[in-house]
Amino acid sequence: MIVSDSLYGQHDIGGVLEELMLSKPVQRLKGVHQGGASYLMNETWNVTRYDHSVGVMLLIRKLGGSLEEQMAGLLHDVSHTAFSHVIDFVLECKEEDHHEKIFERIIMNSEIPFILKRYGYQCETIFDSEWNLLERPAPELCADRVDYTLRDMYHYGNITLESVRDFLVHVIIVDGRMCLDDLEAAEWFVKTYYGEVIDFFMDPLNLYGYDALAKALKWALEKKWISLDDLLGEDEEVMLLLHSIEDDDLKNLLKRIRGDVMLCEVQADYDLHRKTKVRLIDPSVMLGTQLVRTSKLSGKVKAMGMEACKKATRGIYLKVMDSNP
């Protein structure tokens, strides 16, 4: 089948990749938004986990990654629950890794092992291998980190498609890892990345939405009106379930999830303090025959990293000026 992606263009996908794309776990991701509660606050913040997962697969393919690594890229997010990382706020997972803890269970209880076996692959080969294009520890580049940054920032109007393509030209592979061959491209990506993980992730409306939805989900879970397994559905399925529950406290919590709420950043007398996981980036750049961290070559990048760490560690303090419809 022909897959058309907004960032990477058209690709002819067949065989095991096509079957995996059409599997229920991957198709479910069409109904799971990348930004969690974000789309409930701003309908244009609507990139899905499916968009991202297919994008990661195609980026790995574009960079010359093996078929096995492309499969791993496509499937890496299938265990995300409804509303993505909102569950980490509910369960207070500071590393925002609940989906990783349940990954094996979700995979093994699906048709994915049977699809892989039909094509001669074992689950262990795909999921227990170290894929250096797909995932690398921060602050390095990897397909997962690069795709969600470029995808969100492009779709939300912060960068152009031309700038995305100009950046990708400078991605090189050294010892199986993503690096860059140009300092200016590295500086551009660092700025873009912090536009994602600081300016977008920590947007007051975004953090308010996460907090409001997390409180509603936590209340429903504590009252046993819903279970964690219910969150293995799609976003809208879970929202319909929540709205069907006849409980005044829950209904009041759900009413707070609205995009026209008035918020003000304050230092004192705040209603809400939220932090996100500290996410830093410092790509390696090829300088002659040596790989060097961008922060050692650019004072701007070093300063951006320090400021991002400071903001993420401090979090945001918000006063809710109007929380009632």
Rounded to an integer, the average pLDDT of 300-304 is: 98
pLDDT at 181: 97
* Count of beta carbons in the 10 Å neighbourhood of residue 121: 16
Rounded to an integer, the average pLDDT of 156-162 is: 98
Calpha distance 106→86 (Å, rounded): 18
What contacts 260, CB < 8 A, 6 or more positions away? none
Confidence class for position 324, pLDDT limits 50, 70, 90? low
CA–chain centroid gap for 105, Å, is 20
Rounded to an integer, the average pLDDT of 83-90 is: 96
For residues 23 and 110, the answer to whether their CB atoms sit within 8 Å is: yes
Confidence class for position 94, pLDDT limits 50, 70, 90? confident
Rounded to an integer, the average pLDDT of 216-228 is: 97
Length of the chain: 325
For residues 89 and 210, the answer to whether their CB atoms sit within 8 Å is: yes
For the stretch 114-128, pLDDT in tens is: 999 999 999 988 998
For residues 14 and 22, the answer to whether their CB atoms sit within 8 Å is: no
Nearest 5°: CA angle at 234, between 233 and 240? 95
pTM of the shown model: 0.96
Given a cut of 80, whether residue 323 has pLDDT beyond it is no
Which residue matches tokens 């690594």? 69
- pLDDT > 90: what percent of the chain? 95
Given a cut of 70, whether residue 240 has pLDDT beyond it is yes
pLDDT at 267: 86
Rounded to an integer, the average pLDDT of 286-315 is: 96
Rounded to an integer, the average pLDDT of 157-186 is: 97
What contacts 130, CB < 8 A, 6 or more positions away? none
Helix (H) or strand (E) holding 295: none
For residues 63 and 132, the answer to whether their CB atoms sit within 8 Å is: no
175-179, Cβ contacts within 8 angstroms, sequence gap of 24 or more: 175/132, 176/132, 176/133, 177/132, 177/133, 177/136, 177/140, 177/141, 177/284, 178/63, 178/133, 178/136, 178/140, 178/141, 178/142, 178/143, 178/146, 178/283, 179/141, 179/283, 179/284, 179/285, 179/286, 179/291
For the stretch 175-194, pLDDT in tens is: 999 999 999 999 999 999 99
